[in-house]
Amino acid sequence: MPHSPIPARRTKIVATLGPASDRPGVLERMIAAGVDVVRLNFSHGSADDHRRRLVEVREIATRLGRSVAALGDLQGPKIRIARFRDGAVELEQGQTFVLDVALDGEAGDAGRVGCDYKALADDVAPGDRLLLDDGRLVVDVTRVAGSEIHTTVVQGGRLSNNKGINKQGGGLSAPALTDKDKADLATAIDIGVDYLAVSFPRSAADMHEARALLGSAGAEIGLVAKLERAEAVADDATLDGIIEASEAVMVARGDLGVEIGDEALIGTQKRIIKHARSHNRAVITATQMMESMIEAPLPTRAEVFDVANAVLDATDAVMLSAETAAGDFPVETIEAMARVCLGAERERIAQESGHRIHEGFSRIDETIALSAMYAANHLAGVAAIACMTATGYTPLIASRIRSGLPIVGLAHNPVAQRRMALYRGVISLPFDTSEMTAGELNDRALERLVAQGIAEPGDHVILTRGDHMNAHGGTDTLKILAVETCHA
């Protein structure tokens, strides 16, 4: 396999695929520019589209010597208004407007419109506030009469077909997994995604349902909970339950910001990231991170600071949506995001950690992983932490501690290699131990790191491994190895 340059960047980049990335040569340039995870958005495109894109991603990644993970993203119960006869209407502040779940889907006008979510009339009551089109328009419910929800417009504007509806504070009862999601879940298993994102979970039960639907065929797919409902973040118990039921979580700031308010979103983002890391789960920060670059070749200063702030919060990954799926500058956006991540990571706060320093450990592999990171952060001359791993769990635990040193996940299993592509600070490398004797393992590992340019003669490498290789939870050994000339 060809050797790819090892990026100094620790924060991972998730990029959504779409028509923009389908342009000739663009996907390869995106991956070469630093994409670690590709997102297949099941809200758009066909199963064949997603299959074709993932096949191309895997071919390019293999050719470039990269581990690139695939994240399938289920649409979830996006609650929308129906359609207007003339395509759009103007709502004026103070006017009355009716959401009628029984109205013909094409019959909307300036006074009323239908809704695809028939239970909406049961979920709202006088005094509730509804936000339309991602909060751009605001209406207050005055009364509910059968299928009709009568409202007064608080903030008006242009309202067009199929725009979303949110209830401020949450409380809509739509299930997290729709019939479409269940069909898309089967497609995700079939095409071989590494992660699957569940939209709008309200509690851990929604994630458990998704896990049951994945079954044995999807047992190696990691679940990502998209935190976008007010109920999901209302209290620590609910949030922690969702986190523990998932392999990763996403701070989905669009719908979440609408439901809880932008002023509450700031602290909530930090709380989600902190809780995810304390529970040894990966976390993605998403939505409008470099939105202006859909049409512009450079980000705004505000976007630069937004990405940098997420990096300093210790997010594992930052995500691009329309910027790379439909924008004019997908490659330039990835390059800009990578520069910002690197700049933020140079700050001292990004390299200092007090993670679990006063807590006890319950697992041997966890103890070894955290001990390796503390040793690496305090011993001069250490170039990297290398973890021989069957599943990627030891590098994940190690990556919960802030550091400026690379964590190298050495794995034979390609699924584990791609899983690690999401973890902050982890470099995923293929490493087949099946033909090696126990005495060869350490030397071959050091040779791999030297060949990749991660370590050089005179450095030290902290190596973790198990006496029984390729066994889940088997890491029980920590060694500090000197890199000698013979490994060059």
Q: Please give the structure tokens belonging to residue 435.
A: 């033909």
Tokens found for residue 153? 């417009």
- Euclidean distance between CA atoms 18 and 16, whole angstroms: 7
| Structure-block tokens of residue 418 | 């791609």
| Cβ atoms < 10 Å from Cβ of 114 | 22
Tokens representing residue 334 in the block = 């990835």
Which residues pair with residue 81 across a beta bridge? 115
**399: exposed, middle or buried (Cβ count in 10 Å: 0-12, 13-18, 19+):** buried
In 137-245, which ranges are continuous DSSP H helix? 179-191, 204-214, 236-244
Is the four-CA dihedral 8, 430, 455, 474 of positive or negative sign? positive
CB 487 within 8 A of CB 443: yes
Listed residue (456, 458, 466, 453) closest to 427, CA to CA: 453
Q: Classify burial at 444, counting beta carbons within 10 Å of its beta carbon; exposed 0-12, middle 13-18, buried 19 or more.
A: middle
Rounded distance, CA 150 to CA 132, Å? 14
- The tokens of 185 are what? 């879940």
CA distance 396 to 420: 7
Measured from the Cβ of residue 126, the count of other Cβ atoms closer than 10 Å reads: 12
Half-sphere exposure of 128 (CA within 13 A, CB side): 23
Whether 162 and 80 have beta carbons less than 8 Å apart is answered as yes
Catalytic residues: 39, 80, 226, 287
CA–CA distance from 299 to each of 63, 155, 200, 307, 425 (Å)?
30, 29, 29, 10, 24
Closest CA to 341 of 303, 382, 380, 390: 303
Spatial separation of the C-alpha atoms in residues 186 and 214, rounded to whole Å: 8
> CA-CA distances (angstroms) from residue 317 to 15, 303, 444?
10, 15, 30
